[in-house]
Structure 1
Amino acid sequence: MGRLANKVAIVTGGASGIGGATVRRFVGEGARVLIADIDDVRGAALAEELGPDALFQHLDVSKEGDWTAAIDAAMRAFGRIDILVNDAGYYRATPLQDATVEEFQRHVEVNQLGVFLGMQAVVAPMRAAGGGAIVNISSTGGMRGGPSLFHYRATKWAVRGMTRSAAHDLASLNIRVNTVLPGPIETPMMKAGNSQDRIDAMKGRTLLQRLGQPSELAAAVLFLASDEASYITGIDLPVDGGTMA
């Protein structure tokens, strides 16, 4: 029996990167998973690869109607929802003086509003299932200030506060809510949003002197989503190679 046997999960941003690694790990541990993403091609390909325990659903996390459709799809296919991983994210490196309202709003829509809508959407099905686990993906950028990530850091700080507040609100329903804080992880989003010099600098700030791999994040998410973490709620778990040490 896997660590998530008989569990049903929704993973946003699940087509690739940290989300894709989490989907693979969850299915490998016995879960049935709804892969939710705006990348229809990669999402559908991953679901086909993983077989009947995975289903792809198009989801723009900033749209309430898309969340309703995703919940309905998961319930029709799998009959329950036990786990939500809010991994979908938006990232652009921009200093405050160059920030635009449009870029700021897009960060808020995906990184903050999307987390709110997702947590709210799963409360009823998790309550019906007797409880559940929500894992929100923030960032070590949500633990401190720094240059050129004004929009991104603001929303990742917000995710930490939302997580802790939701942990209070949902504890009586046996729904645990925790946050994983990635450091520099080698994902398509990181490579697209940063120069090689910037990536090398981030790597150099880690004690382990390397980028993390999506599979290493997935291992931490798996722990918090599993019953092994049944007495853990409202925490921040850095997975950062020692960046915050």
Structure 2
Amino acid sequence: MATSSKGLSAYIKQSPPLDFSIPYDDTWVKDRIIIVTGGASGFGAGFVRRWATNGATVIIGDVNVGKGDALARAIRKETGRESAAHFVHCDVTDWPSQVNLFKEAVRLSPHGGIDTVVANAGIQAVDRLQEPGDLSAAEPQPPNLATMDVNVTGVLYTSHLAYYWLPKNPGSKPCNMESVPDKQTRDRSLVLVGSMASLAPIAAAPLYGTSKHAVLGLFRSLRCTSHMEGIRTNMVLPYFIDTAIVPPVAKLLLAGGAMGKVEDVVEAATRLVADTRILGRGIVVGPKVTVKQDETGEFKLVAKGTEGSTDTALWEPYADDWEEVDAFDRRVVKLLNAVEQARGWIGWATDILKLAGEHIFGFGGDRT
């Protein structure tokens, strides 16, 4: 992976746009402790199986006790390692439940730390925000916000806990684009799972689209400052993937098109988890297609085998913002730091006294 010791990447610790032709090795995850929320089924289960098979210890957090426990048992039997996978019941919408998941992961960890957290748990509940129901009723019923609870609140809980435990990982070092992945056994990595719904509206699913837009916003904010805690924050954004979360009606609407495959989502996430040189990048996972880049830089669909073409299911969104959008963040952060430095200790003391006055004596606050 090409890196630079100067400029924007050095300041915000965000690596350059991904080059998918650069190989990585699954075995780089060996001996790492990885938490996967929602890991009992779908591509969450795919993550668990692939990483455990390659030597990681994976902690499955899920509300489905039957599937989660069965998956952990099957993986331990297949790998011959009792430490390969463990199941911990976890309701991601419940703070104590998530705290317990992380504490159990530390307890089960051979080295007493956590290397990677994958905020994968997500649902597509009944999404009828724009259907108030019986218009003759005196007042509408409240909408079902379960999707927001799991997909937003749950992810925020997971991220908050990751930022507490990852820097405490024994033997780990702050993230570094110059790291040597096959030699870095300890890591500090957070992977968020968004969706194509993070990038575009999904008809008739406003709550799901809103929730995944929120995850994208979280990712784009965290990746600019994660280096302060030495954490690699990356994101996977799957298109419609052929799993149970896609309802039959959606599959009907998609008929004639194409859906993504679970194995491609697992491939994308594995690259982000295994390669410690990747910081602040996102990967869209769609149906595998044959494309060729034209003279304007645009990709066009072409026939398989066309000279200069490539088969891919993985794309990187907003690759240009490595230089453009986040340059704005860099300027703003530098400006704010400059203001703080200019005000110095006197400015800090003034603000503290003002805050004390507001809370203790009741003056100085906004009265509007």
TM-score scaled by length of structure 1: 0.88
* 2:213 is the counterpart of 1:167: no
Q: 1:138 & 1:93 partners in 2: Cα distance?
A: 19
Greater RCO (Cα-Cα under 8 Å, separation 6 or more): 1
Give how far 1:204 is off. Answer: 3.7
Larger gyration radius, structure 1 or structure 2: 2
| 1:107-126 alignment runs, 5 A limit | 107-126=147-166
Tell me which residue corresponds to 1:128. 168
The structure carrying a bigger helix percent of its residues is 1
Distance 1:73 1:122 in 2: 14
Residue 182 of structure 1 is aligned with which of 212, 219, 238?
Answer: 238
3-state secondary structure, aligned to 1:85:
strand
Give CA deviations for 1:187-217 in whole Å, capped at 9, x if unaligned: 1221xx332xx31433544xxx3x2222221
- Deviation at 1:236? 2.5
Give the partner amino acid of 2:260.
Answer: G
Asked if 1:156 is matched to 2:205, the reply is no
Residue identity (%)? 26
Alignment of 1:56 onto 2:87: yes
1:212 equivalent to 2:245? Answer no
Deviation at 1:93, TM superposition (A): 5.7
The equivalent of 2:41 in structure 1 is 16
- Partners of 1:63 and 1:201 in 2: CA distance: 34
1:196-207 alignment, distance < 5 Å: 198-202=250-254, 204-205=256-257
What value does the CA root-mean-square deviation take over the aligned residues?
A: 2.1
Q: Whole-Å Cα distance in 1 between the matches of residues 282 and 198 of structure 2?
A: 10
CA-to-aligned-CA distance 1:62-106 (integer Å, 9 cap, x gap): 111011100111011112111111111110363542166442x21
Provide the secondary structure at the position in 2 that maps to 1:80: coil
Secondary structure of 1:3's aligned partner? helix
Residue 27 (structure 1) shift: 0.5
How much has 1:219 moved relative to structure 2? 1.1
Superposed, which structure 2 residues align to 1:28-67 within 5 Å? 28-51=53-76, 52=82, 53-67=84-98
Give the match's secondary structure for 2:254.
helix
Q: Secondary structure at the match of 1:240?
A: strand
Given the superposition, is the C-alpha separation of residues 203 and 8 from structure 1 closer, same or farther in structure 2, using an over 3 Å criterion? farther
Instruction: Give, in angstroms, the shift of residue 172 of structure 1.
Output: 1.9
Tell whether the 8 Å contact from 1:139 to 1:181 is kept in structure 2 after alignment.
yes
Whole-angstrom distance in 2 between the partners of 1:19 and 1:137: 10
Corresponding residue SS for 1:146:
coil
User: Distance in 1 between the 2:100 and 2:128 partners?
Assistant: 36
Q: Which amino acid aligns with 1:57?
A: V
Please name the residue that 1:91 is paired with.
124
Q: Aligned partners of 1:36 and 1:217: how far apart in 2?
A: 19
What TM-score results when the alignment is normalised by the length of structure 2? Answer: 0.60
Q: How many residues align?
A: 234
- One-letter identity of the residue aligned with 2:273: A
Matched, 1:225 2:273: yes
Q: Distance in 2 between matches of 1:5 and 1:90?
A: 30
- The match for 1:237 among 239, 263, 283 is 283
Do the aligned partners of 1:92 and 1:149 also contact (CA within 8 Å) in 2? Answer: no
Letter in 2 for 1:43: G
Report the residue type matching 1:231 in the other structure: I
Moved more, 120-129 or 48-57: 120-129
Which deviations, in whole Å up to 9, do the C-alpha atoms of 1:101-155 show, x marking residues without a partner?
A: 442x211110011111101112232102235111111110111123111000000
Q: What is aligned with 1:80?
A: 113
User: Cα distance, 1:60 vs. partner?
Assistant: 0.7
Q: Which runs of 5+ in 1 are unaligned?
A: none
Which stretch shows the higher mean deviation, 163-172 or 49-58? 163-172
5+ unaligned residues in a row in structure 2: which ranges? 1-25, 77-81, 133-140, 173-186, 290-312, 318-368
2:94 alignment partner AA: K
Alignment partner of 2:130: what SS?
helix
CA distance in 2, matches of 1:33, 1:111: 21
- Say if 2:42 and 2:244, in contact at 8 Å, map to a contact too: yes
Choose from 243, 248, 255 the match for 1:194.
248
